[in-house]
Structures are given as C-alpha cells and as structure tokens.
Amino acid sequence: GDSVTQMEGPVTLSEEAFLTINCTYTATGYPSLFWYVQYPGEGLQLLLKATKADDKGSNKGFEATYRKETTSFHLEKGSVQVSDSAVYFCALINPGTYKYIFGTGTRLKVLA
C-alpha cells in the first residue's frame, strides 16, 4: 500500500543553519504531496503542497520539490529561525481516494 517515510528526529540546528528534512514515498498512481507543521501547543497546519511531478511548493521560506524519479519530497529552508521549532509531517494523497497517508513526523529544534 501507499506509504510515507521521513527521516528520524529530532533534528537540532543553530539559528540561520540550512535545513533539510527528507521524505520519500511509495504510491500507486500520481499522488499529491504535502508538508504539514505542528507548532508547540497548536494543531497541524498546511505548510506547502505540490500536485504533480517537478512542482515546487513554497511557503514561509520553506520549499519542497516533487521528484517523481526519486519518489521524494524533501523539505528545505535556507536559514532557520527559533520560531521554526516544530514537528513537520510529510503526507500524500492519491486523488479520488480521500485517504491521506502521513509520515511519522520529524521534530525540529532550533537553538538561538
């Protein structure tokens, strides 16, 4: 069945460091891909999405490119801030199935 694999956390970085959180997927068909973020004490919220191969989703300085050839959707940010500390979830959906598949989440901690 469909699945999403994320790198294990926690990831600890200093402020202004470069961030990469790896995400790979297994899916039939042509899924859409998402990154959701959960800040401390808050509910999950959509960070960015990409609906077809080579699309780049971006928001708040974060980017992820849908790579069909490597079945990946890695999250990147050039310069992290303390306020980026959160848990990040990679997810996919095969359109028409309405069933989202989430990864286990990666906790990011940014130190001042």
Binding residue for other proteins, selected from 10, 61, 78, 95, defined by CB under 8 A: 95
The three-state secondary structure class of 71 is coil
Does position 40 bind other proteins by CB under 8 A?
no
| Using rule CB under 8 A, residue 89 touches other proteins | yes
What tokens were used for 108? Answer: 């990011």
Helix (H) or strand (E) holding 75: strand 75-77
Q: Which is nearer to other proteins, 16 or 54 (CB)?
A: 54
**Rounded to an integer, what distance in angstroms lies between the CA atom of residue 7 and that of residue 73?**
12
Q: How far apart are CA 107 and CA 93, in angstroms?
A: 22
103 touches other proteins by CB under 8 A: yes
Task: Considering only the stretches 19-27, 41-49, 57-65, 73-81, report the one whose residues sit in contact with other proteins under the rule CB under 8 A.
Answer: 41-49
